A and B are shown apart, each in its own frame.
Chain A
Amino acid sequence: MKKRIAIPILLLCLALVAAACSSDTDDATTTTGGDGGSSDTTTTTEGMTEASVLRAAITGDEDTINPYTYISGFPGWNLLMMQYDSLMQLDANGEPQPWLAETVTTNEDLTVWTLKIVDGVTWHDGEPLTAEDVEFSLEYFMEKATGRFSRDLSSVEDVTSDDTTNEVVITLGATNPSFDLVALADVPIIPEQVWAEIDTPGEATYDISTNVGSGPYMLVEYEAEQFYRFEANPDYFRGAPQVDELVVVVFADDSGALAAIRSGEVDVNFERVSPEQIDLLAGQGGLEIAQGPEFTTQMINFDASKAPFDDLAVRKAMSLAIDAQDIVDTVFLGAATVGSPGWVHPDKAVYNPAVQPEFDPAAANAMLDDAGYADSDGDGVREYDGEPMAFELITNSSDSLRLRIAELTAEMLAEIGMDITVASVETATWEEAVWPGFDINNGRNYDIATWGWSAPIQANTIRVAELVNSDPSIGFLNLTGFSNPDVDTLSAALLTEADEAAFETGIMELQQLIADNVPFVMLAYPDGAYVYNADVYSDYEFIAGQGIVSKLSFLPDSARP
């Protein structure tokens, strides 16, 4: 009888072994794993710089991609900006440069911005794009809420335009040093002749005929949840794009998109690939990886308003005990930048290189010993106020990389006598604990938690004030309940600092203050990595913090800023 049970199992095993053996040859080339993803796969020498049709993968539908319908901040906004232009455009370093506005001048205290619009630009329908269109666009977004663009323009008090000189003057209610970055390089300019007729954009129904822009691509076909077809705009004011037709295919998930690029069904993936895929994909067929810095963050939060985290010694010790480099190497397989304890990404112009991550568990232990957190009962766990230093580290279960971060953090904190239990909870529960009701005035219901901010907060460096200022009207994202008078004064002052040099000195100092006072533990800024088929097209531009999904990737080099 035993033999008979074995038969079906045996057959199954035989089939599997046969399959396993048949593939032994490719193991050698595909099994790379352990040495991390840091190998240099970014540059390309013999790629293609022109293509007639390029097929790109995204995961998830983006509706009709006009300013009122696009869905995600990435890559939805990026696809929107293929069709539209902003007044300024980010260059490869992520710095705003003149674009639709050929010159941008400001007054002394950065409250009046004067923009000269490029002459002779036309919309996709042939109408001329004028200063009046610019005024119309800004006023339209300010009147009719869109979320992102209305918020970008919230500091604007008045807009005037002059069609004869083709100039626009924007007056702000208060000094806003980053207005160029957050507004001018973010808000699309829309044609008056199309949008003037739409009174309530939030309720209107759209088709692709609404998508008249001035950008290098025009949307010509859209099948919901299936694909978008964009055609190049040969009359684009910076020069005709190098790819004639862009087909963006909608996939249900990452694995579908990955399988499609492996099989050659698509030529580029507009979604980031996960760290473990980088080495596996690079070098398969014509596949290459464009990898570069991006501005999302991974960090550890704690409730700094209560014991023992209200004690700087404890926060500092935790920061010393957590090996961010190990997390980058193990979880991200090297495809991330180690977090700077001063919050600012090392690729930012205002990064303070004097602020460096430190890993020194021995010093951390000494620090806790000195501060009186002894392990009096010898169970390997220190005590505070008579309680063992045993805490729950909560993390959202839907993010598997973050789960691993939590696991590693717990392991590292054990080395300094903290007993950490990882609790993986539903995302809603996690958010509700760290950020109850999404309003910091409701307090906090956690001890330690994994956290991460999306790219816009890092992209605009001064937004760090929102994370560390203890005045809830300024620091409305201060989720750790951190409070330090020096940090408060400096961060508040920098918000309205009009002088560039003074701002730079101040932000350097703020980074040191943040590193010294540890409002949170910075772990990493995961890199963006995009896979593309270099045999089809390879002239992508990686914008720091933004990735390759932008019009720059498809314009001739001469047209890029």
Chain B
Amino acid sequence: MKLFTRRPGRRPTPKVAKRLGIVGGVMISALVLMAVFAPLLAPYDPTERVGAPFQPPSAEHWLGTNDVGQDLLSELIYGARVSLTVGIVAAIVALILGTTVGVLAGYYPKRLGKVLMQSVDVILILPFLPLLIVLAAYLGRSLLNTIVVIGVLIWAGPSRVIRSQVLSLRSREYVLASRTMGAPDRWAIVRHVLPRTALLATGTFVRAVSTAILLEAALSFLGLGDPLQKSWGSILFWAQSRGAFLTPAWKWWVLPPGLMIMIASLGFALVAFAMEERINPRL
């Protein structure tokens, strides 16, 4: 359940953390470049049938073709677009929800805060994957639904982290000062609280992207995403539903998209790790 437990790595020297962060950054940049320049990099249009179905790798199709003869390498390259977009947009949804709830709950810890935190607890305890599947089943398949379902289910963790930060900021002098001066709460929040939670929020955001990428892949794999969107998860969905992983085709159809998902998720996880090490004064 705890998607956002703090990485408790104590004292791996900050230099190491920084290096790991750089490695993660390189991985992310490579994927983003691949997504942006997909039309230049991909040998074919991934939606076009350019060969016979179920072809093994050849000079024309380095990773072979899928069940209707679309080029798997092109699908893989274009897949970066959907996977990264879903990951990032879902994380933005989670960030907005999580920050709003976290800041409100931290700034008004009495009644509102209690109610909000209670609902956060409920969401954190509900069985996550089964709920994700049940929701996706009812909502139907589209990219938007995938994003909404993931975003709505992963905001609770970050909101808790942000709340505790706000709770401690709340009693700081500048906030107290602005309150005694009669400034409206909104002003104190925007002027003092938000900027000081920004770094923390960014850290949880990056980690949320890493989580969301994995979740999108899982949902698409189960056929609960939009199977006609070219994402890495949906490539694996077709590999599963047309039996490719029980044949030699797993080497060119199953292995590559999984590696891409792993690299994407890992890239964001490493950056998040590095950021947390920086934020967390314990180091």
B-contacting residues of A (Cβ < 8 Å)? Answer: 1-2, 5, 16, 20, 23, 26-27, 30-31, 33-35, 255, 258-259, 274, 276-277, 280, 330-331, 333, 397-398, 400, 403-404, 406-408, 411, 422-426, 429
Cβ contact within 8 Å between B228 and A424: yes
Cβ contact within 8 Å between B228 and A34: no
Spot the interface stretch: B35-43, B197-205, B241-249: B241-249
Cβ contact within 8 Å between A400 and B52: no
B19 at the interface (CB under 8 A from A): yes
Cβ contact within 8 Å between A34 and B140: no
Cβ contact within 8 Å between B248 and A34: no
Cβ contact within 8 Å between A333 and B53: yes
Cβ contact within 8 Å between A280 and B247: yes
Question: Within 8 Å CB of B249, what residues of A?
Answer: 31
* Cα–Cα, bound, A31→B157 (Å): 47
* Cα–Cα, bound, A23→B242 (Å): 21
Q: List 16 A-B contacts (CB under 8 A).
A: A1-B23, A2-B23, A27-B248, A31-B56, A33-B54, A35-B52, A255-B243, A333-B53, A397-B223, A398-B223, A400-B223, A400-B241, A407-B47, A424-B227, A426-B137, A429-B140
* Cα–Cα, bound, A422→B248 (Å): 31
Min C-beta distance of B228 to chain A, whole Å: 6
Q: CB < 8 Å: which of A23, A404, A425 contacts B141? A: A425
Interface size range on B against A? 20 to 34
Cβ contact within 8 Å between A274 and B243: yes
Question: Within 8 Å CB of A426, what residues of B?
Answer: 137-138, 140-141
Nearest opposing residue in chain A for B49, CB measure: A330
Nearest opposing residue in chain B for A426, CB measure: B140
From DSSP, what is the main secondary structure of chain B's interface residues? loop
* Cα–Cα, bound, A274→B52 (Å): 18
Cβ contact within 8 Å between B243 and A277: yes
Chain B 70-106 interface residues, beta-carbon cutoff 8 Å to A:
none
B113 at the interface (CB under 8 A from A): no
With known contacts A331-B68, A429-B140, A276–B243 Cβ distance under 8 A: yes
A-contacting residues of B (Cβ < 8 Å)? Answer: 16, 19-20, 23, 47, 49, 51-56, 67-69, 137-138, 140-142, 223, 226-228, 238, 241-243, 246-249, 251, 255
Q: CB < 8 Å: which of A16, A255, A408 contacts B68? A: A408
* Cα–Cα, bound, A483→B195 (Å): 67
* Cα–Cα, bound, A16→B250 (Å): 11
Q: CB < 8 Å: which of B23, B54, B55, B242 contacts A400? A: B242
Cβ contact within 8 Å between B52 and A33: yes
Cβ contact within 8 Å between A422 and B243: no
Q: CB < 8 Å: which of B19, B53, B141 contacts A34? A: B53
Question: Within 8 Å CB of B138, what residues of A?
Answer: 426
Question: Within 8 Å CB of B137, what residues of A?
Answer: 426
Min C-beta distance of A440 to chain B, whole Å: 24
Nearest opposing residue in chain B for A330, CB measure: B68
Cβ contact within 8 Å between A20 and B251: yes
With known contacts A276-B243, A330-B69, A426-B141, A403–B227 Cβ distance under 8 A: yes
Most buried by B among A255, A259, A276: A276
* Cα–Cα, bound, A26→B69 (Å): 23
With known contacts A333-B53, A398-B223, A426-B140, A404–B248 Cβ distance under 8 A: no
Nearest opposing residue in chain B for A331, CB measure: B68
Cβ contact within 8 Å between A30 and B247: yes
Question: Within 8 Å CB of B255, what residues of A?
Answer: 16
* Cα–Cα, bound, A429→B142 (Å): 13
Nearest opposing residue in chain A for B241, CB measure: A400
Question: Within 8 Å CB of B68, what residues of A?
Answer: 330-331, 404, 407-408
Question: Within 8 Å CB of A331, what residues of B?
Answer: 68
Cβ contact within 8 Å between A34 and B238: no
Cβ contact within 8 Å between A5 and B248: no
Min C-beta distance of B35 to chain A, whole Å: 21
Cβ contact within 8 Å between A23 and B53: no
